[in-house]
Amino acid sequence: MKTFTNTSFFTVLLAATVFFAGCSGRNQLRSPAGSMQPVEQLAHQIDRALADSAMSQSDAAVKVVSLETGETLYSHNSQMLMHPASNMKLLSTASALKNLGPNFRFKTEVYTDSAAHSDSAITGNLYIKGYGNPDLTTDDLRWMVNELKKKGVRSVSGNLVCDESYLDDLYWGNGWMWDDVSAWEWAPICALTVNDNCVEITVAPGETIGAPLSVSIEPETRFMQIANTAKTVAESDSQIRKAYKAERVWRPIAKNIYEIAGGRYLSDRTRTYTVDVVDASYYVGTLFSELMREAGIMFYGKIERGLLPENPQLLIRHQSE
């Protein structure tokens, strides 16, 4: 980007989002006294970019603000509600570096009730509290479970309480459409999230014609249920092949069921679907409980959403890399 002269008194923040639909809107320019030339130069460059033939079938939204005064210096479709896409990562990264610093680490913690922990048994609840780590994985949960086992814990009699209160309960962003909910790019936002709040479902033809399709899920968990009625069909069964579908079942009491129906040919390639899950903290809790059983830690309670009690006992702290 070209550097403007005589602009030391203000810093310009430019955020532009581009979508394919058709260019429209009227530009508005406001210039602080004594800075007409650099602001007009900036406006001219933006106008020229928007007028490029490559933008003829696109919508653009641009807003330029002085970081010193908060004054809007340039506006084009700035009130239009649009998905910001990957350019928002620049602003998010800059904000994180400024407010959190380069050495910041996200933490995820495991607690128990202060008086409910003996040498090998937790007779009260186990709490897992999230602080917004966007990169928590199944392996991270497995590390936490192994640390729990190293402490001698062999059973948990109480419930596994998932505390997601560090962030608000707005799981979907303002302006997200109802049909975005099933797309992995718009997985629900939560303070306690694992695996990008998604699972991967792999579907392959069976070994013989008539055999059910082979379906696997990663991570392997009961949280996402698979309803598979699809079969491997001969090349002549084109109607069944055309009826193939792999999609989430949307029912009030069936939030995390993935349905696979119709048919696939023996020659069809394996397909992998990345699917977001509903109720992120319950997903974490379910995986954690399954990993405890895998590690030989018996869990007798249920998984629920809740808050840390007063004066809990910290057992494990995981920090992001």
The predicted-structure confidence for 248-276, as pLDDT tens digits, reads as follows 887 666 678 999 999 999 999 999 999 98
What pLDDT sits at residue 172? 76
> pLDDT tens digit string along 124-159?
999 999 999 999 999 999 999 999 999 999 999 999
CATH of 107-171+282-319, one of 3.40.640.10, 3.40.50.300, 3.40.50.620, 3.50.80.20: 3.50.80.20
> pLDDT tens digit string along 25-53?
445 555 455 545 788 888 999 999 999 99
Q: What is the mean pLDDT of the chain?
A: 85
Query: Taking residues 99-113, what's their average pLDDT?
Result: 95
**73-102 as b/e, with b when 16 or more CB fall inside 10 Å?**
bbbbbeeeeeebeeeeeeeeeeeeeeeeee
Q: Is the pLDDT of residue 15 over 50?
A: no
What pLDDT sits at residue 26? 43
Lowest model confidence (mean pLDDT) among 55-59, 62-66, 218-222, 288-292: 55-59
Query: Taking residues 87-95, what's their average pLDDT?
Result: 87
CA distance 182 to 179: 7
What pLDDT sits at residue 92? 87
Query: Taking residues 73-86, what's their average pLDDT?
Result: 85
Sheet holding 298-299, edge to edge: 121-122, 155-156, 298-299
Q: What is the pTM (predicted TM-score) of this model?
A: 0.74
> pLDDT tens digit string along 168-191?
888 877 777 766 666 777 788 899
Query: Taking residues 105-117, what's their average pLDDT?
Result: 87
Whole-number percent of the chain with pLDDT over 70:
83
Nearest to 247 by CA among 266, 229, 221: 229
Lowest model confidence (mean pLDDT) among 165-179, 196-210, 236-250, 300-314: 165-179
All CATH 3.50.80.20 domain ranges in the chain, comma separated: 107-171+282-319
**265-299 as b/e, with b when 16 or more CB fall inside 10 Å?**
beebeeeebebbbbbbbbbbbbbbbbbbeeeebeb
Among 4-18, 61-75, 81-95, 250-264, the range with the most confident prediction by mean pLDDT is 61-75
pLDDT confidence bin for 80, thresholds 50/70/90: confident
